[in-house]
Structure 1
């Protein structure tokens, strides 16, 4: 099972669920269009030593 987390779109305020790719490293950054309003968000992911995740977004 792929771990998931969520972020809040900075444009429309919707909570968006995204999978976490643990093989991509402890610090990740990528751009994803919001599936609700289609605005691009820069998604930032940090994975802690105990596996805890911190995810946030900013409008591109």
Structure 2
């Protein structure tokens, strides 16, 4: 199951749309910004019902 989310890049500040795959449960992964191509760390929390309950982004070097 995928969720479309607006995300603000912690490097360039631009907002872009991305799909969050919640089928794997809570996880951490890296995805490049669609605008400046820098690596963003995504931390997602998925509830017992399979719904996205939390989304946190930060720079890869933080």
Q: Which has the higher strand share?
A: 2
User: Does TM, scored on the shorter chain, surpass 0.5?
Assistant: yes
Q: Which sections of structure 1, spanning at least 5 residues, go unmatched?
A: none
- Which stretches in structure 2 are left out of the alignment for 5+ residues? none
How many residues in Structure 1 have an aligned counterpart in Structure 2?
Answer: 59
Which has more helix, going by share of residues? 1
Q: Given the two structures, how large is their TM-score scaled by the length of structure 1?
A: 0.76
Higher relative contact order (CA 8 A, sep 6+): 1
RMSD value, Cα: 1.9
1:13 equivalent in alignment to 2:30: no
| Runs of 4+ with deviation above 4 angstroms | none
Is 1:30 equivalent to 2:41 in the alignment?
Answer: no
